[in-house]
Amino acid sequence: MKQLLTVILFLFTVQLISQENNTENNSSFVFTPEIMVGFTAESNEFFPDRNLQTQVLLNFGWDHSKNPREWARRLKGPKTGISLGYTSFGNKDSLGGAFTLLPFIEFGIFNSKRLRSQVGIGGSYFTKTYDEMNNPRNQAVSTKLTWSFRAFMHYEFLRSREMNWRVALGYFHHSNGHTRLPNQGYNSFLLSLSADIKNTNSSASRELTQTPDLKRRVNDYISFYGGFGINVLSLAYNDKRGVYTISGEYGKVLNGMFKVGVGFYYRYYEHYYDYIADEEFLVRPGEEFEEFTNNPWWNASNLGIHANGEFMLNHVGFNVQLGVNLHKPAYQIDWRINQGWDNTPREIPPNFMLGEFDSKYRLKKTLAARMGLKCYLWDTSKEPIHNIFFGIHINANGGQADFTDLSLGYVYNFNFKER
């Protein structure tokens, strides 16, 4: 997981550079201190007692409401930036705290001048994690570094030329992306008070000059990427193994900013292959999945199709992918081990309760999801014909984390003209 924070910091640096001289673009700097208080949901049975969660964030951003560039105008003047903060989970000894770094985007909603939505995705460093001997009741995270996701709705209740006071309600999530177990994750619901402190001396205080009307554009693209991820199988198989992905897609680029497409993916899970090839308990002769040993590679593979949506801002893209698994047989082993009684051992005793193949199983075996960040080598707003991207994503079965991966990909845009 060390590469997670490194890549996020790199993406943040690129994001700041990608604004391409905000003074010339008539964007203004905004500093927003924020305090939050709320409730941390129980992550597991016998979760430690705790007080209210408290959190402090320092948001450094650019207000693009008077930026004449196309992407800013189409999004009706969003705010982009980075959040740095600290969270206390209400129990210093067992839950500790977390230091968080989150790139974010904020924009108006429902045609309101006061109601705004903010979404951020990044990483956190935890001071307390699960420990079998010293901290067994906290099964929320077992790694120092985790993914973090934030979604808030802000209301500006008091506005002035120098400062806007805001209240907000939102959700915060932390998870390590199934790179080590246990990984129940933190889910928190928070109230927020913040103040947008504006840079009134900025040249962005000028009114937006007259600009040409925006014209709708639709272009075709194809894209391919290869990915390397890591995950674990269970508490009894808690060492990291690779997940290898090849994927391609075809779709449309709308106005040079939004991508929608469909495609395919192939994945190979080392943990599944090792379990089958080493003839672990559930694939031994006479056991439920003994036929898997006839072709370990094929049964450790995953094939599927997906729909993809992506928002691109200069060098940075945020994308969400929803897929359908057409072939993932070894997930049956995964489910049997992880959805029955806790701590299923390698040698499973007689009458030990394993996971049942119920409707929840069918849903998670069928649905695949992927969410994360991309960093493009060339500025997407200039609509290059060729582009290369680096990505970091969390992948899930239904809504349950499966693995975290890094990817390298290529995009060809059919109808773009170099600008």
List Cβ neighbours of 408 (8 Å cut-off, separation of 6 or more): 225, 226, 227, 388, 389, 390, 391
**Is residue 201 exposed (0-12), middle (13-18) or buried (19+ Cβ within 10 Å)?**
exposed
Q: What percent of the chain has pLDDT over 90?
A: 73
Domains and CATH numbers, the chain: 2-15+25-201 (2.40.160.20), 218-413 (2.40.160.20)
pLDDT band for 206, please (50, 70, 90 cuts).
Answer: low
Quick check: 349 pLDDT over 90?
yes
pLDDT band for 73, please (50, 70, 90 cuts).
Answer: confident
| Paired residues of 121 in beta bridges | 149
Average confidence score pLDDT of the chain: 89
Distance CA 236, CA 412 (A): 44
Which one-letter amino acid corresponds to residue 9? L
pLDDT band for 418, please (50, 70, 90 cuts).
Answer: very low
Buried b (16+ CB within 10 A) or exposed e, 253-262: beebbebebe
- pLDDT, mean of residues 156-179: 93
List Cβ neighbours of 49 (8 Å cut-off, separation of 6 or more): 91
- pLDDT, mean of residues 25-35: 88
- pLDDT, mean of residues 339-363: 94
Q: Examine residue 182 and say whether the peptide bond preceding it is cis (omega within 30 degrees of 0).
A: yes
pLDDT band for 415, please (50, 70, 90 cuts).
Answer: confident
Residue with the larger pLDDT of the pair 188 and 17: 188
- pLDDT, mean of residues 332-347: 94
